[in-house]
Amino acid sequence: MLTALSIRDVVLIEALDLDFAPGLGVLTGETGAGKSILLDSLGLALGARADSGLVRHGATQASVAASFDLPADHHLTSVLAQNGLDMEPGEPLVIRRVVKADGGSRAFVGGQPVSAALLRELGAYLVEIHGQHDDRGLLAPAGHRTLLDAFGRIDAGACAVAHRAWREAEAVLAAARAEIETAARDREWLEHTVAELEALAPEPGEEEMLADRRRGMQRAEKIADDLRAVEGYLTDGDGGLSQLRQAARILERIAPDHPALAEALAAVDRAVIEGSVAEDKLIEAARELSFDPRAQEEDEARLFDLRGMARKHRVQPDDLAALAADLRGRLDRLDSGEAGLGALEADVAAKEAAYTAAAQALSTARAAAAARLDAAVATEFAPLKLDAARFRTLVEPLPRENWGAHGRDRVEFLVATNPGAPFGALMKIASGGELSRFILALKVALAEEGGAETLIFDEIDRGVGGAVASAIGDRLSRLARGAQLLVVTHSPQVAARGDQHLLIAKSHDGTVTRTGVRVLNTDDRREEIARMLSGAEITAEARAQAERLIAA
């Protein structure tokens, strides 16, 4: 609901702050007082095109801020969140627009800068403006299907699920066909490559294992001479270990002759033991580092083959096994492709049939809802002086390429204003005054399904009076029970129905003309309605009639 509007330096408005109440708010004033300026200001805040001509003469910029109270579960909350504009619970939503006198504009939501496009999107959820120049809301055929579904309590969820399943099955079939067609063109290459890879039989991790083993063989080859030299120093006939053993044998004979000789024998024995350990380790190392040159050549050849195949197919050597499996799978699917396609085609056909059934159920429900809506709108025509008019909700099939999650129907509201005249779109058939009344009849019949919480009707009572104006006032009052309505009116019958009455007037100080708006109290309201009844001179009878209208 719109709660406040703050306007600065817009055309004739220097500074204006308004608070709005729930229910039916009426805006009155003499012709030329500036009612259109007020609506243009609100439209600017809602994302309308920024025109530097709106900036008051002598000012550098114009600004408009509008404040809205939204319920916690309002759909707009998720739209704001998707755009990084989270609202604090209980806080009003404030949107603001600034237009510079030299061109250009800026938009803000909750103090954060946003695009004008986002402002227009938000504005569509917040306020509906209906008038003879409006080309949105009820006049836009794009939204008629949604309005009809809301009126008829029609749930398109099952159809949407069926449509998604059908399209997904079609995508799987198309991908399978494309793969088979590609594979068929590449069969010779596939067969050769699969045979080549399967002959090579690569395994994950094999390249690293071969490289490690090759490095080990190359290192062993480099230290082989050093190992042989050490072995000679230790174990040959003239080697150190052999000589230590000979020394130990001699010391064993003479060790009893002196304690120091016994100690020397013990030391030599320890050296022999350590030397023997060294000899065992040399033998172990030589055994483990030994290699077969033929095996080395085979490993190197295998390693080069793996790396060459990987370069050929632009993959890592460890990915060759997966590539072989993938290509083998493609070749197998090509061989059995026709049978597989048959199953996929059957799945698509079954899911299309399920979608068709769901869409047909929607069409049937829409046709029934359309008949009820036509009857409901027709009952509103006579009181609104549209006796000769006819209304029809067109539900017709869409071309196959336009079928979607919401079914196969195009829905449009059509009218014929004269007997025998053909039906046509509201914008093309109805005149300005008729158009506003058609919109009101539709709004009453739809009972606000799918609409914004704030509705503005601009001179909906233009060209009518008496009983018709009273009927318009009655219907506006009924609509205001479920939504906030703001109505620009010249009709005292409509003005008398208002829960809040705002008077728009011009003032002059000799040099500057300004437009102002004030909320009327009970006495001022009676005077304004009396003025609307009698004109420039307010008579006692006009005041009495105004009292009767308000009391009624």
Most confident of 73-77, 270-274, 459-463, 523-527: 523-527
Q: What's the pLDDT score for residue 360?
A: 96
- Report residue 65: phi and psi, to 5°: -125, 135
Phi-psi region of 315 (alpha: psi -120 to 50; beta: other; left: phi over 0): beta
Quick one: average pLDDT of 485-511? 86
Q: What's the pLDDT score for residue 402?
A: 94
Q: What's the pLDDT score for residue 398?
A: 95
> Taking a C-beta distance cutoff of 8 angstroms, is the pair 5, 42 a contact?
yes
Whether 215 shows a pLDDT value over 90: the answer reads no
Q: Across all residues in the chain, what is the average pLDDT?
A: 84
Q: Which residue has the higher pLDDT, 282 or 270?
A: 270
Please list the residues that pair with 114 across neighbouring strands.
Answer: 107
CA distances from 302 to 57, 211, 306, 469 (A): 87, 10, 6, 97
Of 477, 442, 444, the C-alpha closest to 550 is 477
Of 107, 92, 2, 94, the C-alpha closest to 49 is 107
Q: Which residue has the higher pLDDT, 296 or 41?
A: 41
Q: Token digits for 8?
A: 């600065």
Rounded percentage of the chain residues whose pLDDT exceeds 70: 92
Whether 406 shows a pLDDT value over 90: the answer reads yes
Q: For residue 128, count other CB atoms closer than 10 A to its CB.
A: 23
Whether 195 shows a pLDDT value over 60: the answer reads yes
For the chain, give the longest Cα–Cα distance: 158
> Taking a C-beta distance cutoff of 8 angstroms, is the pair 515, 505 a contact?
yes
Q: What's the pLDDT score for residue 399?
A: 95
Most confident of 14-23, 80-89, 417-426: 14-23
Q: What's the pLDDT score for residue 236?
A: 67
Q: What's the pLDDT score for residue 401?
A: 94
Q: How confident is the model at residue 414 (pLDDT cuts 50, 70, 90)?
A: very high
Query: All domains of the chain, ordered by start, with CATH?
Result: 2-31+127-157+356-551 (3.40.50.300), 187-335 (no CATH)
Whether 133 shows a pLDDT value over 50: the answer reads no
Whether 279 shows a pLDDT value over 60: the answer reads yes
Query: SS3 helix, strand, coil % of the chain, rounded to 5?
Result: 60, 15, 25
Element (H, E) at 7: strand 2-10
Please report, as a single letter, which amino acid is at residue 62: A
Instruction: Report the alpha-carbon distance of residue 288 to residue 393 in Å, rounded.
Output: 92
Element (H, E) at 13: strand 13-19
> Taking a C-beta distance cutoff of 8 angstroms, is the pair 137, 450 a contact?
no
pLDDT digits (tens, 9 = 90+) for 521-541: 989 999 898 988 887 788 888
Q: How confident is the model at residue 289 (pLDDT cuts 50, 70, 90)?
A: low
Strand spans (E) along 40-190: 61-68, 93-100, 105-109, 112-114, 127-130
Q: What's the pLDDT score for residue 79?
A: 83
Please, what sign has the CA dihedral across residues 16, 21, 22, 28?
negative
Of 467, 469, 504, 466, the C-alpha closest to 488 is 504
pLDDT digits (tens, 9 = 90+) for 31-59: 776 777 888 889 899 888 888 888 988 89
pTM of the model: 0.59
